[in-house]
Amino acid sequence: MTRFSALFLAAPLVLAAPAPAFAQTGLAQVQAHLRAVQTMTAGFTQTDARGRSLSGRLTIKRPGRIRFDYGRAANMLIVGDGRALTFLDYSVNQQQRWPINDSPLSVLLNPSQDLSRFARVVEDNPRFLLLQARDPRRREFGTITVRFLKSASAPGGLILEGWNAIDAQNNRTVVNLSGQRFNVPVADSAFAYRPIQRRGPRR
């Protein structure tokens, strides 16, 4: 599963259709939440379409920094250092890197951006809000839908609950968060990582 699913987190960001007028309030609420949360930590569980799961720890520090630590069992990381998003799979010595702005995760990492350019609210009710990013003209990029629970005590009145991602082959990856903590101290060193040492050709 999981390595393909993890890579989807770094797939190119896709543009959504323009948000309808009724969704502007929801977009404004998401924007307020992002601006109110400088740091966040949570547990995560990532599940693919076959029901296979991996769990780990998520750390966010805005703007631009994020870390998915899958633990020793999976031996891989996804780390955003403010400029780029790096996927590291130590078990197979694989490392790939993308600009953060080309990832759907940029929706969550840059509180100053104009969400209406690339996302739209697809559902907004008293319990939760769904924010979707996709481009109907470029379906090969798939779709990501971010879920927020509504809570008056949370920053901006929202709690990031997780997201669903569907790729061009209609494979679904679901990420659920738990134990969210907001605006806790997070050191910059939390986003450091050990680069994979590539072996040269044998002589």
Separation CA 150–CA 159 (nearest Å): 6
Position 65 in a domain: yes
Position 187 in a domain: no
Task: Provide DSSP, 88-143.
Answer: EETTTTEEEEEEGGGSTTHHHH-TTS-GGGT-EEEEE-SSEEEEEEE-TT-GGG-E
Radius of gyration over alpha carbons of the chain, in Å? Answer: 17
Contact between 9 and 68 under an 8 Å Cβ cutoff? The reply is yes
Q: What is the pLDDT of residue 79?
A: 95
Q: What is the pLDDT of residue 179?
A: 97
The boundaries of the domain holding residue 175 are: 2-182
CATH of the domain at 64: 2.50.20.10
Position 193 in a domain: no
Position 199 in a domain: no
Phi, psi of 20 (to 5 degrees): -70, 160
Q: What is the pLDDT of residue 9?
A: 56
Q: What is the pLDDT along the chain (203 residues), one digit of tens a residue?
A: 445 455 445 444 443 444 454 467 899 999 999 999 999 999 999 998 888 899 999 999 999 999 999 988 788 999 999 888 899 999 899 999 988 776 777 778 888 888 887 788 999 999 999 998 765 445 555 678 999 999 999 999 999 999 998 876 778 889 999 999 999 999 999 999 988 876 655 44
Position 37 in a domain: yes
Q: What is the pLDDT of residue 107?
A: 79
Position 104 in a domain: yes
Position 188 in a domain: no
- Size (the chain), residues: 203
Q: What is the pLDDT of residue 87?
A: 92
Instruction: Count the domains in the chain.
Output: 1
Q: What is the pLDDT of residue 123?
A: 93
Position 116 in a domain: yes
